[in-house]
Structure 1
Amino acid sequence: MGGAERNARKRKQQQTAARSVAQARGVAGGDKKKVVAITVAVVVLAALVIGGVIWTTSSKDSTEGKVIGAQTGTSAPGVVEKRDGAVVTVGKPEAKKTIDVYADFLCPVCKQFEETFKGQIEEQVNNGTLQVRYHMLPMLNQRSDPPGYSLDSANASLAAADAGKFLAFHDALFKDQPEEGGRGFDKAQLIKLGQDVGITDPTFVLKVNSGAYEQEIQDAYKKISTDPSLQQDFGNGPGFGTPTVTSNGQVVKLEQDWVQKVVS
């Protein structure tokens, strides 16, 4: 083989080697880019998960340290509140019509009921046409974290009724309703609300802290939840649910004009 041929062959081998190195570097570079992309995706995903956990925890504990907003009472002169066991009756004694309202302070649909119909009910109560019998129930007692808020709030509302402040207390708890599945208001917060709506009787604090009416509330709920006259079909067979309203012993269909139908 002549020198020119050897030199040509050598140059060809060098060019082939150079292309191989370049290709190898290209593959390595592509793999590196893939690794970087995967790493970034994992980091972003982890950040989203951590952020979601932080947001969920923050949302769940949103009531911690919160002062429940006191509501200004709008009852007319002559409207009285009277507790009888686990039931609170609100209205003027001469009212000819009575309804029973069954609700839970943690129930989101009960809050919607209050927002939709409170004004209509209040108008009929204030003009002496209607009395309302409130049954505050611990139906969702296991749906707060920790469990127990439904019972604590129902008990505190009865203690507030003893001081003539049931409606103000009731309205405030629905206005600032805790999230179902999250932290409810603790007893100290319920006591603070009572004080903010004007309760000065020291026995209120004792009743809230001791759960004075808890047994009455639980006994009443057990009876109510199994009462055939209060059963409704919610799509999966008959059962009891909140809110439920009755008039003359019959469950009321909660249409937009149901209040007017009851009093007319």
Structure 2
Amino acid sequence: MGGAERSARKRRQQQNAGARAVTQARGGGGPGRKTIVSVIAVVVLAALIIGGVVWTNASKNKTEGTTIAPQTASAALDTADERQGAVVVSGNADAKVKLDIWADFLCPYCGQLQQQSGKQIEEQIQAGTVQVTYHMIPLLVNQSDPAGYSLASANAALCAADQGKFTPYHDSLFASQPEEGKRGYDNAQLIKLGQDLGITAPEFATCVNGGTYDQQLNAALAEVENDPNFKGTPTVLHNGTMVDWTQQNWLTNLVNQAG
């Protein structure tokens, strides 16, 4: 091989080496870039998944460790004999308007009814014009996580009724209503609410922890589910006739019609 050929060959080798260096500097041509991009994508996806799980769990369990805010509803509405089996009767026996309300402490529409009309109902009870029979039933017992809040809260409300605190207890549970499908309140939180409302009798905690009225509440639910007038929660009846509680001034109209 002559000197000229050797020089030409050397120049070609140098040119090829330079081209490879440029290609590598630009990140092309090899598997390294693809591998790095894939790893980054996996890390980002994993972070999003973990973040989503953490957020979901936090949202689901947001009632954990919290205190149910006690409401200042008038306990003067309550009487020693207002609990009658699995129902609570509030108001004078000679009231012109007699209502039956079926509700569940987990039911969002029941919470809407309470927010919309609860204060007015209690004012009419106080005035002696309305009597309400409250049927707190565990219709959504399987719709909390863990299951059972509907039954536990209904039982606790009856336990509170035995201590003359049904109305503020009822109002407090709706004012701090947990979301359907998520965690409710446990027995310790339900007991603490009663204590914050002024219940001091140890029988209250025993009643809550022991599920004293669970059997009666389950029996009441089984019975009402066979009643053609029952349309789920909330159901409001006036003298056995369905009331459309979503209509504005529905209670005022009933009171005025009763004269």
Q: CA deviation at 1:198?
A: 1.5
Deviations 1:170-197 (A, max 9, x none): 1111111222222222222212211211
1:124 aligns with 2:116: no
**Is the CA contact (8 Å cut-off) linking 2:237 and 2:243 kept in structure 1?**
yes
CA distance in 2, matches of 1:175, 1:219: 27
Counterparts in 2 of 1:196-211, with a 5 A limit?
Answer: 196-211=196-211
- In the alignment, which residue of structure 2 is the partner of 1:190? 190
Report matched runs for 1:160-239 at 5 Å. 160-230=160-230
Partner of 2:253 in structure 1?
261
Q: Secondary structure at the match of 1:135?
A: strand
- C-alpha distance in structure 2 between counterparts of 1:163 and 1:90, whole Å: 14
In structure 2, what is the equivalent of residue 50 of structure 1? 50
Write the letter of the residue equivalent to 1:14: Q
- Confirm or deny: 8 A CA contact 1:68 1:193 kept in the other structure: yes
Distance 1:14 1:95, change over 3 A: same
Instruction: Check whether the contact 2:78–2:167 (CA below 8 A) recurs between aligned residues.
Output: no
* 1:140 aligned residue: 140
Equivalent runs, 1:43-122 vs 2, <5 Å: 43-74=43-74, 79-81=77-79, 82-122=82-122
1:19 is matched with which residue?
19
Once residues 87 and 66 of structure 2 are traced to their aligned partners in structure 1, the CA distance between those partners, rounded to angstroms, is: 28
| Cα deviation, residue 62, structure 1 | 2.2
Distance (Å, rounded) in 1 between the aligned partners of 2:142 and 2:65:
21
Aligned with residue 249 of structure 1, among 218, 240, 247? 240
* Deviation, structure 1 residue 152: 1.1
| Contact residue 71 and residue 171 of structure 1 kept, 8 A | yes
Alignment partner, residue 155 of structure 1: 155
CA–CA separation in structure 2 for the residues paired with 1:55 and 1:80:
41
CA contact (8 A) 1:83 1:158 kept: yes
1:258 CA displacement = 1.5
Task: Indicate if the aligned counterparts of 1:80 and 1:92 stay in contact, CA closer than 8 A.
Answer: no
CA RMSD of aligned residues (A): 2.3
Relative contact order: is structure 1 or structure 2 higher (C-alpha 8 Å, sep ≥ 6)? 2
Q: For 1:228, what is the secondary structure of its paired residue?
A: coil
What is the rounded CA distance, in whole Å, between the counterparts of 1:16 and 1:190 in structure 2?
Answer: 80
Q: How far off its partner does 1:27 sit?
A: 5.4
For the residue of structure 2 that corresponds to 1:142, the secondary structure is coil
Q: Counterpart amino acid of 1:92?
A: N
Against the structure 1 CA distance between its residues 182 and 225, is the aligned structure 2 distance closer, same or farther, given a 3 Å change threshold?
same
5+ residue gaps, structure 1:
231-239
User: Identical aligned pairs, as a percentage?
Assistant: 53
Instruction: Supply the distance in 2 between the matched residues of 1:48 and 1:160 (Cα, whole angstroms).
Output: 45
Separation in 1 of the partners of 2:29 and 2:103? 66
The offset of 1:7, in angstroms, is: 2.8
1:201 Cα deviation from its structure 2 partner: 2.7
CA distance, structure 1, for counterparts of residue 199 and residue 221 of structure 2: 27
Letter in 1 for 2:108: P
From the superposition, tell whether residues 222 and 9 of structure 1 become closer, same or farther in structure 2 (CA, over 3 Å): same
1:43 Cα deviation from its structure 2 partner: 1.3
Distance 1:262 1:129 in 2: 10
Q: 1 CA distance for matches of 2:19 and 2:28?
A: 14
Q: Check 1:73–1:23 CA distance in 2 against 1; reply closer, same or farther (3 A cut).
A: closer
Consecutive unaligned residues of structure 2, counting only runs of 5 or more, are none
Deviation at 1:139, TM superposition (A): 0.6
Q: Residue deviations 1:90-109, cap 9 Å, x none?
A: 12343110111111111122
Report how many residues are paired: 253
Indicate how the Cα distance of structure 1 residues 30 and 258 shifts in structure 2: closer, same or farther if over 3 A, else same: farther
